[in-house]
Amino acid sequence: MATPDPKPPTQTIIDQQAQVKATLPFDDTIDFDDAGAGLLAEKDPNQVVNAAGKVVWDNNQYSFLSANAPDTVNPSLWRQSQLAVQAGLYRVTDKIYQVRGLDLSNTTFIEGDTGIIVIDPLTSRECAAAALQLYQDNRGHGKPVLAMIYTHSHADHFGGVKGMISDADVAAGRVSVIAPEGFLEHAVSENVYAGTAMSRRAAYMYGAALARGAQGQVGAGLARPSRRARSPSSRRPTPSPPRARPAPSTASPSSS
């Protein structure tokens, strides 16, 4: 079905946007300084395609955000999108690096002496592989992934796992997959049992079907949504060794 031509903003909307501009301190640019701090390398162009050549991720299509906020978009949302569109490999602190702007979420690399730990491998195999490659090209230099940590059960924090590690490496004990207790139960409940409802909600919440632009979609709040051509994956956490039970106390109960 053809998308109808977007309508221009009404005078009411224009007045509301002007009121926001006059109310908030848009001349304070410290957020932009903070967002750009530690940038080491960028992916240029910032696009990812799948094995069939279809675009999975395209950060460059948001280049229109370099302009000033138009009357069609809330100025605060426009500013947030300008901050979130920044992308690349960033140094957070000594031995901790992040790749931002290659998916809805960020992925973090912790450097050890013999390998790296990854925290949250993004949403899809393709974006995860691209993020790992950007890190390896500029910092990792071939160090293997020794551990993968899922912080929680949202798909954008584990769906790219097989773009960074293989089942064979996990089965051989070369990589550990670590997650909170109950991770699988929550992941299935949210992404399978409630998957249809979650997808429907996301369609309205993120507006991913809208054309990118000042009269369409300018972002998803925290970042930009990825395309449908992506390939999400999953890998169950590595079983934890049984916890040692404390030895029973041999002390006599104290009397009061």
133: CATH = 3.60.15.30
pLDDT-based confidence at residue 246 (cuts at 50, 70, 90)? low
Of the pLDDT bands very low, low, confident and very high (cuts 50, 70, 90), residue 245 is low
Residue 186 has pLDDT above 80, yes or no: yes
pLDDT given for residue 1 in this prediction: 44
Asked if residue 245 belongs to a domain, the reply is: no
Whole-structure pTM value: 0.86
Cα–Cα distance for residue pair 117/134, rounded to 1 Å: 15
Distance CA 60, CA 67 (A): 14
Which residues constitute the domain of residue 189?
A: 11-206
In-domain check, residue 19: yes
Whether residue 225 lies inside any domain: the answer is no
Whether residue 163 contacts residue 233, with contact meaning beta carbons closer than 8 Å, is answered with yes
**Which has the minimum average pLDDT: 32-36, 190-194, 242-246?**
242-246
Q: Is residue 142 part of a domain?
A: yes
Report how many domains make up the chain.
1
Res 218 pLDDT > 70: yes
150 closest CA partner among 178, 122, 116, 108? 178
Average pLDDT over every residue of 184-204: 83
| DSSP letter for each residue of 127-175 | HHHHHHHHHIIIIITTPPEEEEE--SS-GGGTTTGGGT--HHHHHTTS-
- At residue 212, the 3 state secondary structure works out as strand
Specify if 42 maps to a domain: yes
pLDDT at residue 49 above 50? yes
